[in-house]
Structure 1
Amino acid sequence: MPPFPTSSVQAARTALAERLRELRLDAGITGKQLAERCGWSVAKSSRIENARTAPADADIRAWCSACGADVHAEDLIAVNRQAGSMYTQWRRLQRTGMKHLQEASTPRYERTKLFRVYASHVVPGFLQTTGYASALMGTIAGFRGTPDDVSEAVEARMRRSRVVHEGDHRFATLIEENTLLHRIGDAEVMSAQLGSLLASMALPSVSLGIIPAVAPREEVMWPVEQFMVFDDERVHVELLAARVTVTAPGEVDIYLRAFAKLTELAVYGAEARRLIVNAIESLR
């Protein structure tokens, strides 16, 4: 199982904290002296230096100035911002609604050649029907209290999903069988979504595997959080409160290995179609 997906964030913040500590040591000053020069408490210096508190841009500038190392401030601020962007609350991503989030991710979808997608609870966005996406986004907007731009966001998602049919893209997709049974929208919406999944199996760009609920997992892989790998270089992990972006090669590799293990559990072709058809019949 991948480590808790914020580990890459903490690793980046720890590296920054260590660099700030090095600047203080190179300046030959104590934590107390640094705090006095910055005009804050010794406890704050300690929290920053031990990566317990993420510094603000102004904190980094003050720290570098206190150490006579202003030349390093902007680079360290950039590092700090990058670490912060790895873990982004949905509340921030969707503060103006969901349409912008769909549009902002479109260039990445267009650039990516190989997608590896593991869906543990909802159908992946690029395979969603309009009805399913509308029901799902409506529930999300209500739960998170974000602006209701569901119609516009669904249209943007449908436009983004054209990459499935256009260009040189490949989508290696794994879906847990339970996802087929999670009722998003009414029976008609779910039936249409499941029928669309059946149709997607004929697309040359899509490889669709279904992981049976009864698949033995004790020696292979257990269900994990929903994630998408972009060209073996970047992973987006979906948590309830936030989206985590993983770019550290070692951690990307963990998700690739997890995907490979999950692939061993999946069924394809006629067996996968049978599971989808069973899910459709359960709606009647």
Structure 2
Amino acid sequence: MSESHPEQQYLDLMRRIWSEGDQRMDRTGVGTRSVFGAMLRFDLADGAMPLVTTKRVYWKTATRELLWFLTGNTNIRPLVLQGVKIWNEWPHARYVAETGEQVPLEEFVQRIADDEAFAARWGDLGPVYGKQWVDWPTYEAQSDGSFRPGPGINQVAEVVESLRSNPGSRRHIIEGWNVAELDAMALPPCHKTYQFHVGGEGAKLNCLLYQRSCDVALGLPFNLWSAALLTRMIAQQVGLQPGELVWTGGDAHLYLNHEALIAEQLSRELQGRPRLEILRRPPSIFDYTIEDFVVHDYTPHGPIKAPVAV
């Protein structure tokens, strides 16, 4: 297909990182090649979605994760019960480190599914994405100079309302980087800041996602889908057409142990232009279910497996 295919810019970024990126050690000890300050742009008109075709991306898994974020839940058990595995390694690593019990990951995850009390103790990730999105903590000063927890802030609900009531605002932002709570999170937010903008021809809803750290091979296909999906959902809720998704990455990297994945993916031809159909308009942004989404014209190449760096 021609280079005008929207996925080509993703492959170009992957190729540039692998051939030109700085090689550096990272938090995981695996090592990466990295560039700083990347940008991708995707037109979401007519149902178009940035769904990677050069390998199969499990968009339902990414969608279930996004819907889980919107519940504010921070325990992996609801994901585990749906067969979503993407967060399992972090609580498993914590369990092994704190107990010394060398339990296999699969056995740990099965215990999370089977034992609600065990899941409550070991399945929580701390105040990660969903907690910050829909229940950002506040504190109220007391007469004795102390502070007590106040009502949480639902950033998602506030953005939906502000888009309805004041679409020209420059404050349509969902922020995940709560400095005071970073150390309590299993993983500080990578896709951290979403800014929405109403403009362009026909006053469409645009979204800019700033991602401080991005695993371009494994993480970015999920991140692009989720950001575009959230934009489509919010656009539907506020009665706007989706416009453009702008993704910008701080440290955009490829792990050194992903060389085989990268070579295989870059050798593949782009194929098809997948489209998303949302089957209904739920009462609120928090009422969507996995059954509300259908993807058309998605005929990707097969999946490519690679290890996750924890």
The reply to whether TM is greater than 0.5 is no
Instruction: Place the TM-score, normalised by the shorter chain, in its bin.
Output: under 0.3
Bigger relative CO (Cα 8 Å, ≥ 6 apart): 2
TM-score between both structures, scaled by the size of structure 2: 0.25
Higher share of residues assigned strand: 2
TM-score between both structures, scaled by the size of structure 1: 0.26
